[in-house]
Structure 1
C-alpha cells in the first residue's frame, strides 16, 4: 500500500487505539503491529503528507500556516510586550516530522539522566542510546555510538550552502571547536546538522516507519479523525469518541488507549474527558473523573530569536537542503556544566512580524540563537468544554531572569561570529539588531523572541504531585490509558525535539508489549 488514504477503521474494537499519527504515534503503531496477534487503530486528525511542500525539505517555512497546520496562537506573551505568537503544530500524518526542518538531534546525555534523577527510571542515557541505535540508519562518519540499519535514515547535508561552511569556521571567533557529528562523542561546538533527508526528499516517520507497515492486516489508519473525548468507565479507559465525516464515532480498545496527540492535543483530550485539575474542570462544566493537577502544566519551549540578520554583499544563493544546515551548541557562562545555547545559520532572513518593517531587504541571512536549557514554564488550559475550541496556550517565554540573561549572552556570541572573518565574503552590514544599549537590546529580545517549535512537558512523566504519567507512561488514576509524545518530557532536551519524540514512541511500544 502506498497511500495513507487507502486505509481506515474496519472494526468496532481494537486491542490498541492510538490517538495521533505524529513522531511518536507513527512509531508506536508500527511497533505494536509487528505483533500479529494484536490489532491496532491509529487515529489522525489531519490528512496525508503528499503535498509537494511537505516532501521538499527546504519548503518547511511554507508549511507553518494553512490547512496542514492547526493554526494555534499563543496567549499574550507577558514578557514579550504582550505579543501573540504563532504556535505551529502539524495536522497531517507524520505530525511535526512532516513539517519541521528535518533536524535530527538526540539531546545531551544529561537530559535523559536528568529524567531518571526525577524518578523516571528506565529513561537513563544508556537506555536512550540503545533505542537510538535501534532507530537510526546513520549514513555518516562511522561511530560506535550511532545506529545503522534502523528505519530512520539520518545523514549530513549534501553539498552544504557556502553560508553553512562559513558558519562552521566562524565558531573559532568564540572558541567553539568544529565537530564532525553532534550526535556522537560531543555536541559542543559547530557542526553540520544531522538531517532526515533521503534522496533530496523529507524522510519522516510517516515514510520510514508507518508506510511500510500499512501492508499488515492488523493495522488500520483513520485520517481526518478528531478525538473529542475518552470513553471512561469505573476508572478504566474503554475507548475514544471522535469526529469523522460529519458524525461522532466511538471505537473501543480491548487493551489500551495511548494518547500521542502532542503537547497540546494530549492534555486537551485529558481535560475534555474530566482528567485534570478538578476546580478548573468544574468551572467549565466538565464532569471530573480524576483530579490530576499536573495536566497541562509544565509547558516548556526553546525561545528562538529572530534574529541577527545580515544583508548579503552579493545576491544570496538559494537555500539548500533544509535551509539551515549548520548549528552550534555553546554555553552562556563558562561555569555551566552543559551547553545551554543552540545557534543555527539560516540561509534566508528571519524576523518576527513585529520587526519585519525594520528589515530593509530580503537579501539577508540570519544567525539565530536559542536558549535550550530553559527555566521558564507555561501551561495549556481549556478555552471551553467545546472540543472544537483551540486550547489556551500560555508559553510564558522569558519569564525567568536566567533565560533573559542567557539570550543576551547568545546575542553577543552570535554577533561576534557574524562579524568574524569567516563571513567576510558575504557580510555587507548587520541590519538587525544594530548597535543598542543593554536595555535597548532587551527591548529587541522581547520583540524578536518566538518559538523554536519544541514545546513539551504538559503531561509530565514522574513521581511527584505534578506528574501526569508514571515512568511506564500510564496515566495516574486511570487503567488502560497511557500518553506517549513530547508532552511526557519532564524537562525539554538540549536541542531539537523530534528525535526524542521518536525515541518515546519506541520506548512506549516496548512498555506496552512488555
Structure 2
C-alpha cells in the first residue's frame, strides 16, 4: 500500500535538509525527507576536529574511483557521506562560496536567475555570522558561520611567508575580494559543527508535517506517463508524491539513482538490463572535481596538532575543549588558507590553499613521525570532465566514479604550478623557525615529469564533485534553470550536481544556497506561501 506526501526529498545532505526545513514552514504542506544513511549521534559528527576521522570511513559509503587513465591508473578513495546532513556532517567545515564571476558565468551560459547578485541574498539568508553583517554576510539565519577558535602561531607565520611572495592578507575570504590568504570562516556555532542537519532539521524536528526517515534507501523513482509519481524503496514499499519528487543526493548519488530509475543514457542502461524510462545522455556526464596536491613539512617542535594523536595528549585536548571550547578539538585542522594565481592572467584566483595543522589528517596522506604541517593546493577551474555510471542494476553495488583527473594537459600544468607555489611559501623565512625540512615532494623532485609522478602517488580528491545533472537553457541540459528535469514532470534536482561549472572553492556553502533558492522556486511554482 502506498502512502503519500506533497513533496518527497531524496537525500538528507546539505541541500536536502534546507529543502525539508523550508518547504515544511507551511503547515499545510506534507514533506518527507529520505536519507539512506544513519543519524548523526556519534560525537565525532559534532566536534570540529572529528573531521580527521571522516575520510577514513565514518559516515561514508566507502566508494573509490575507477583507475585514472591520465594518472598512471591511480585509484582514489572517494568519500561520499552516508549520514543525515550529508557532506556538511563530515567535511572540514570551511565556509567558502566560490568567486562571484563563477555565478555570473552560469548566468551567461543561460542559467537565468543564477548570477552572483541573484544568489548572494540566499547566502546571506542562510548565515548567522558571528563577525560580519554587511552586503556579503547576514546574521540570524539557521547556519552558524564563525571565526576559528584554535589557530596556532604557525598560521601567522604562513601569512607572513605568503606576503614575502606578494600574496596579501585577506580578512574576509567570502567578502569583496577572494584574493589573498587568511583564516576561513567555519560552519560552526559555539565551537560545534553547524551541519545542515543541526542548523535546519534539529530545530524543526517536531513539526507534524515534516517526516524524516534515516536508513531509508530508495530503489528507484517511479515515473508514470511522463511524470514522477513517487518512489519505490529497496524493501518494495511505495510512497506517493502529489506535487514533486526532489532529488538531493549529491553529484554522485543523484545521477546514480536516476540511472537506477531508468533515466539516463538509454544504450548504457539497456546493457545493464535496465529498461530505459527516459533517454538523457547528460545524466552522470560532465563530472568535475578539484584534485588536491600537498606539500608536507616536518617541524622543529610541537608547532602543530600532531602530538595530540597520542592517547595522553588527546585526553588533555578533550578536557581543554570541555572547559573552554578551545584547543585542538575546536579546530577543523584546515581553517587557514587562501586563494591565488597559477595563471597570472586568470580572471580571478585559480588556486586554493588549505594549511593542515598536522599530517596524515586525511586518508592516504602521509604522516610525519615527529609532527608536521600540510599545505594543500588545488587548481580551481579544471577543464577535465568525467562521469558517474552504474556498475550494475543492483542498487547495493558502488557506482563507477571517474573524475578523469588531468585529462586536459592544462589541468596538469596548472596543478604543478600550484604545488610549486606551496613549496615556495613553506620555504620563506617567516616559517624558518617552525619548519625543519620539506619532506614531500622533497628536493629530489625537480622536473615536471618528476612532479607528475609525485602527483600520481601523492594526491587526493578535494571532495568537491559537481556538474553531473547540470542545468541550462540548451537542449542537452538535464535541468532547466528552475532545476526541473527536462522531459519528466514533477521531478527536480537540487544539489551540487546542478552546477554547469564547478565553483572556485569548497562547495558546501553553495549546496546550502542551492537548497535555499530551490525552496523559493518550488514554493513559487506551487503557490506555497513563503
Q: TM-score, normalised by structure 1?
A: 0.94
Query: Please, what is the CA RMSD of the aligned residues?
Result: 1.6
Determine if the alignment matches structure 1 residue 266 to structure 2 residue 254: yes
Determine if the alignment matches structure 1 residue 295 to structure 2 residue 283: yes
**Compared CA separation, residues 413 and 483, structure 1 to 2 (3 A):** same
Give the CA deviation at 1:351.
8.6
Alignment of 1:295-444 (within 5 A): 295-305=283-293, 307-318=294-305, 319=328, 321-350=331-360, 356=366, 361-435=369-443, 436-438=445-447, 439-444=449-454
2: CA distance between counterparts of 1:422 and 1:28?
A: 46
**Compared CA separation, residues 142 and 511, structure 1 to 2 (3 A):** closer
Q: 1:68 is matched with which residue?
A: 59
Q: 2:466 is matched with which residue?
A: 456
2:471–2:499 contact (8 Å) kept in structure 1: yes
1: CA distance between counterparts of 2:66 and 2:338?
A: 30
Determine if the alignment matches structure 1 residue 256 to structure 2 residue 208: no
1:155–1:194 contact (8 Å) kept in structure 2: yes
2:471–2:481 contact (8 Å) kept in structure 1: yes
Give the CA deviation at 1:160.
1.3
Give the CA deviation at 1:362.
5.0
Give the CA deviation at 1:11.
8.3
Alignment partner for residue 18 of structure 2, among 21, 27, 30?
A: 27
Give the CA deviation at 1:462.
0.9
2: CA distance between counterparts of 1:127 and 1:33?
A: 24
Question: Which digits, 9 at most, give the CA deviation of each residue in 1:399-425, with x for residues without a partner?
Answer: 111111111111221111101122122
2: CA distance between counterparts of 1:28 and 1:260?
A: 9
2: CA distance between counterparts of 1:109 and 1:282?
A: 41
1:173–1:416 contact (8 Å) kept in structure 2: no
What's the secondary structure of 1:147's corresponding residue? coil
Alignment of 1:14-163 (within 5 A): 14-66=5-57, 68-163=59-154
Determine if the alignment matches structure 1 residue 217 to structure 2 residue 208: yes
Question: Which digits, 9 at most, give the CA deviation of each residue in 1:308-348, with x for residues without a partner?
Answer: 11111002442451011211101112111111100111011
2: CA distance between counterparts of 1:40 and 1:277?
A: 30
1:293–1:465 contact (8 Å) kept in structure 2: no
Give the CA deviation at 1:434.
1.1
Question: Which digits, 9 at most, give the CA deviation of each residue in 1:116-160, with x for residues without a partner?
Answer: 111110011001111111111111144332111111110111241
**Compared CA separation, residues 11 and 242, structure 1 to 2 (3 A):** closer
Give aligned pairs, total: 499
Q: Which runs of 5+ in 1 are unaligned?
A: 1-9
Q: 1:508 is matched with which residue?
A: 518
Q: Which runs of 5+ in 2 are unaligned?
A: 306-327, 525-530
1:45–1:226 contact (8 Å) kept in structure 2: yes
1:302–1:370 contact (8 Å) kept in structure 2: yes
What's the secondary structure of 1:298's corresponding residue? strand
1:30–1:213 contact (8 Å) kept in structure 2: yes
Alignment of 1:491-502 (within 5 A): 491-502=501-512
